[in-house]
Structure 1
Amino acid sequence: MSSKKLSSVSIGTFIGMTIALAASIRNVPDVAAAGWPMFLYMAIATFMFALPICLIAGEFGSIFPEKGGPELWVRNTLGDDFGFATSWLLWTILFPGMVVVASALPPLIAVAVNKSSLGTDNMFTLIVILVSFWGMTFLNRCLDMAKITGKWVTWIGIYIPFIIMTLLGIAALIKTGIHPNSILQSMHPEKIIPLGSSGAKSLNYFSPIALIFVGIELSSVYITRLHKASDYPIGVLATLLFMLVLNLINGFMESAIISPSKINLNNIVQPIIVYNQILGLPAWINNIFSILVAIGVCVQLSAWVSGPGKTMLASARDGYISPKLKFWKKDKFGDSPAIMYVQAIVVSIFSCTYLLIPDINRAFLDLVNATNVIYCMVYIFMAIGFIKMRVKEPNLKSDFKVGNSTVAWIIGIVLIVIIIVIMVATFIVGTLFNFIIVAGISAVIIILPFIFCHFKKDSWATEVKALIKEKKN
């Protein structure tokens, strides 16, 4: 009885863990760039995208409490091939996704060393991405990075920067009001509805705003540790409201002061520099802020270097990958060296987007959109699997259910419809070249796992088991 009590999690702790899992300061420029429609986009992303994901994940997590997450849920509802496809997608998301995360480092480093012009230099951006990702790959090969970084990094990389940005932004906005040349220009709340050419242009940012909540479904692993399963939706809603308010406050303040021609989407420190100029504060605040956020970004990179690859390691050990690739081999930290090196090579290739597309904002958006499309396929699999589970096995034992069958259908369909809207918004805005980049990356990554399943040999599973047994001996 006491051990159960020790492992339980209060609703306040659950909210904190979920915020640490999903919240990130690097999304604020995307929110700000949308202008007045940010309020509509954030509301849709919060209540019609993130909330259904959390509710579906909550029921799945309660029914299938074993480790595995989306891969396990999809495998148990749609079959092994879709389970492998989910595992593959969760791994390959890091190819464009980690380029997006690592691209936050160049402006941070540039400000930290007082060479801000480097932050918009494509070659410098490429070099920093390559050095940081390969550096984290080698560190994870040699050291137990999860143990070294610990929980304190959440405060350094997320909470403290968010507090600094919010306080400085409020002070700057009180002093200047909405700048006439800013993204918002003036007080026009009617512009919240994206109409006309400017409204259509703001659709560029709907997909990146939805991406703020990507990964939040993983908080469902804590549902079995809550004092009451009924606390889960309350905790999720509180977390989503916190993220909604914090991102809107900071996005609004940045868009009220920075002009649309000067905003840099991968420069998290840009609003801090502007706020400090308005308030007449010392420049060293910019340096300290940059260093704090850079530490947070590096730790996030480190977690992604080792985390998603574990899904492919499990699939390789189940015989979905040829043993010759050695994806099945583990090191002393439980990671696959072969997987880590392959992903580092592919991330390096994706990084070259910054050379192919001179506009650094456009390159950033294309990579964000590709990441979102790939992750949204995982959510579509989850939604279809959820509906199928409710139809075929409505009486499965669960501590948490989202409602009756009608409610379950509505939640699943709402999520699928919003994902379709996100994808359409992603593809209709931008040039043909941008469409080809995003569609090409997404299509190749989504189709490949089904090709692998088609050519999979039954002998692979037997070979892998023999190799694992041989290695143990």
Structure 2
Amino acid sequence: MSSNVSTTEPRASRPEAGALQRSLKRFDITAMAIAAVISFDTVGQIATGGGEAATWTAAIAVFFLVPYALLFAETGAAFPQEGGPYVWVKLALGRPAAALTTLMYWVTNPIWLGGSLVFLAAQTWDGFVFHLGSGTVADYTFKLLFVWIAILTAVVSLRRGKWITTAGAAMKVLALAAFTLTAMLYGVRHGFHGLTDTSFTPTTAGFLALVPILLFAYVGFEAPNAAGEEMHDPQRDVPAALGRSAAVAACCYLLPVLALLAVVPAHQVTGIGGFMEGARLVFGVYGGAAGPLLKTTAVMFVFALLTQGSAWMIVSDRMQAMAAADGGFFTRALGTFHPRLGTPVRTNLLSGAVATVFMLAAMRFANGDAADVFAVVLTVAVTTLLLSYLVVIPALVLLRIRRPDVPRPYRVPFGTRGFLLCGALVYAWILIGSWSALFPGVLEQLFGIDYVFHDVWGVSRTSFEAFTLGTVVALLIVGAIGVAVARRENTARAAGGEAGTS
């Protein structure tokens, strides 16, 4: 299907377009969104908030996820070009803004892969499958293999790679469903003791603590649009796939969190081990089969984490590659798509390098304490991703206002007013989440809530801010350099073209 939008450079005139192969159907888009968005690492982290975590999970699903899904369903169907959010920001705010926003969006994923995902996978493998130790050769080997297998699954052609992410999505939903049902069975037999000291009443403190992680858990359904020109019919399939995957994700967060809290007291739930520790407890209902079943679940858990990282590499690397190929970030060579595989191999390898460096730095920062670094690393990823939405959301609104002539196969209810209302609501959530992630404890102090920083994070505020703010500042510097280098290359290319025609 050809795009009806004439607001971007024609597909035929772009060198990377010839390598793109249409291989994503509605089912594939839905599975990719589920694989990318449902985060095992955040289930335990959410549950640490106790009973009110379930309350806020449901509330944010209604008041954030629904308007968020509506915004991206309309925009993704109206502007289905390869690159997704990069194209949208470029059309609304220009190429430099799009390049910087894409950098913040993209870098979240190698940071996340080399940080929280690989740490959680190693912790799970060490505790339930095979002992690795901490800082040992086995530990380093496992983490390096995890990172680079995820990268390699993004390198293979999307026609084949999509089945890896589909398998991960299926395994993820199956594992969460099995855990939820087993927890219910455990509760029937032994009582739901976790609920005796749990309150579902929402509080301001709980809200401020949970908003960043819940927003991080729910965002990302627009990610498959990064492969917009590799979809068979994006204008019809994107809205339907987004709606289905969002509904599945809401259930896959809320139900396991409730199940975990029902059988494990909130004060015993840990972010890094919450899901598997809960599984260790409830699988006791299977008697002698509990051990093998728990080990199988752990392997599924690690595989689902791997495919989750892979799914994000597939989509975010395409965004970053399109920014480079379009002349917006460093050199166009970085955005080259492999002629046979149809994947941005150079950007994939760059992601692998960034993930590896971040993993090594995080291990050094951790000093052997995986739980503390898990929380800090995840916060860095939350911060960079949410900061990118501070630009993406206004871009969607500007496109809605400035380009009313663009065909929109799906529209937000109540027209432009409905779109603007959704945009304002989503932006307010993102603003609160970004501030809370970047400067935790500040809003709590404003509301008179006790907040002992070291008790919450396990590190001092100075160390925390050095790691998070230092990362953001470094990214902005890299982005500014990338835009400047790209502008110089574009000028040189234009001068070369003029010289050739004179």
TM class, shorter-chain normalised? 0.7 to 0.9
Matches within 5 A, 1:204-243: 204-218=209-223, 232=239, 236=242, 239-243=245-249
CA positional deviation for 1:422: 1.0
Alignment of 1:225-264 (within 5 A): 232=239, 236=242, 239-260=245-266, 262-264=268-270
In structure 1, what residue type is equivalent to 2:176?
F
Query: What is the one-letter code of the residue matched to 1:243?
Result: A
Partner residue in 2 for 1:357: 366
Q: Which residue number in structure 2 is paired with residue 469 of structure 1?
A: none
AA paired with 2:163? G
1:193 is aligned to 2:202: yes
Deviation at 1:130, TM superposition (A): 2.4
Partners of 1:40 and 1:193 within 8 A in 2:
yes
Deviation at 1:21, TM superposition (A): 4.7
1:216 Cα offset (Å): 0.9
Rounded to whole Å, the distance in 1 between the matches of 2:366 and 2:237 is 50
CA distance in 1, matches of 2:344, 2:408: 34
One-letter identity of the residue aligned with 1:33: T
CA distance in 2, matches of 1:185, 1:424: 34
- Corresponding residue for residue 381 of structure 2: 371
Q: Match of 1:319?
A: 327
Cα distance, 1:418 vs structure 2:
0.6
- In 2, are the aligned partners of 1:318 and 1:461 still within 8 Å (CA)? no
Distance 1:109 1:29, change over 3 A: same
Cα distance change, pair 333–298 in 1 and its aligned pair in 2 (3 A): same
Mark the CA change 1:20 to 1:320 in structure 2 (over 3 Å): closer, same or farther: closer
Which residue number corresponds to residue 69 of structure 2?
A: 54
Deviations 1:419-452 (A, max 9, x none): 1111233222444132332232234324532443
1:320-339 alignment, distance < 5 Å? 320-323=328-331, 326-331=333-338, 332-339=340-347
TM-score by length of 1: 0.80
Taking only the aligned residue pairs, the percentage that are identical comes to: 15
TM-score, L = length of structure 2: 0.76
- The residue number in structure 1 matching 2:396 is 386
Question: Which residue in the other structure is 2:185 paired with?
Answer: 171
Equivalent residue, structure 2, for 1:101: 117
Q: Kindly provide the amino acid, as one letter, of the partner of residue 91 in structure 1.
A: W
Unaligned runs of 5+ residues in structure 1 are 2-6, 467-473
1:440 and 2:470 equivalent?
yes
Q: Distance in 2 between matches of 1:139 and 1:404?
A: 40
The 3 A distance-change label for structure 1 pair 256 and 88 is: same
- Supply the distance in 2 between the matched residues of 1:146 and 1:301 (Cα, whole angstroms): 18
Unmatched 5+ residue regions in structure 2?
2-22, 442-452, 455-460, 497-502
Residues 465 and 266 (structure 1), Cα distance of their counterparts in 2 relative to 1, 3 Å cut? farther
Cα distance in structure 2, aligned partners of 1:130 and 1:100: 14
Report the Cα distance in structure 2 between the residues aligned to 1:302 and 1:399, rounded to whole angstroms.
30
Query: What is the aligned residue count?
Result: 444
Amino acid at match of 1:39: A
Q: Shift of the alpha carbon at 1:106?
A: 1.0
Bigger mean CA offset, 436-445 vs 288-297: 436-445
Alpha-carbon displacement from aligned partner over 1:30-89 (angstroms, at most 9, x marks no partner): 221111221332134323332232222122123212222111111111111122223322
CA contact 1:321–1:460 (8 Å) conserved in 2: no
Could you tell me which amino acid in structure 2 is paired with residue 378 of structure 1?
S
Identify which of 315, 325, 347 aligns with 2:355: 347
Distance in 2 (alpha carbons) for counterparts of 1:438 and 1:133: 22
Quote how far apart the aligned CAs of 1:128 are: 2.8
Q: Distance in 2 between matches of 1:127 and 1:48?
A: 43
SS at match of 1:320: coil
